[in-house]
């Protein structure tokens, strides 16, 4: 049993990008699926699929690369950890690389990117930052 399943998923994505893998598999959960959907909407991954295996289910994440094979995800970092949760108000949401990257937050309205949180004036738990 993992103490932080979201950190495990982010590590699988990070390792897959470094190895230039086309796809990454990981166990499914609602929060992990929501984080992957935000990454897809923002253009950091190509696709995310749910695979029914008769148990918990799996997520198949198709990674995205540039036209010459360069990495789209240079850094993906877990911010709020199991031992020290990090909650931010709308004014404290970090600007990752001055807007070139994104922060993923879990709010009372669902998981969304930092841009969506600023538009809707919402704060929440800072899950990860990506650039």
Domains contained in the chain, CATH given: 5-130 (3.30.1370.30)
Least confident of 1-5, 71-75, 95-99, 103-107: 1-5
**If pLDDT is split at 50, 70 and 90, which confidence band does 43 have?**
very high
Residue 36 pLDDT greater than 70, yes or no: yes
Helix 5-18 and helix 30-41, axial crossing angle in degrees, nearest 10: 40
For the entire predicted model, the pTM comes to 0.95
- Phi, psi for 10 (deg, rounded to 5): -65, -35
Average pLDDT over residues 88-116: 98
- 27: closest CA among 47, 46, 8? 8
């Amino acid at each position: 049993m993992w103490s932080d399943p979201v950190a495990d998923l982010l590590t699988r994505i990070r390792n897959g990008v470094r190895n230039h893998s086309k796809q990454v598999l990981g166990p499914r959960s609602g929060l992990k699926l929501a984080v992957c959907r935000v990454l897809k909407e923002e253009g950091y991954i190509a696709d995310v699929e749910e695979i029914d295996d008769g148990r918990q289910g799996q997520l198949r994440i198709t990674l995205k690369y540039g036209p010459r094979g360069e990495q789209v995800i240079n850094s993906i970092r877990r911010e709020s950890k199991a031992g020290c949760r990090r909650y931010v108000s709308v004014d404290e949401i970090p600007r990752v690389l001055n807007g070139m990257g994104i922060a993923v937050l879990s709010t009372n309205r669902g998981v969304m990117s930092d841009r969506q949180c600023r538009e809707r004036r919402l704060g929440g738990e800072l899950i990860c930052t990506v650039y």
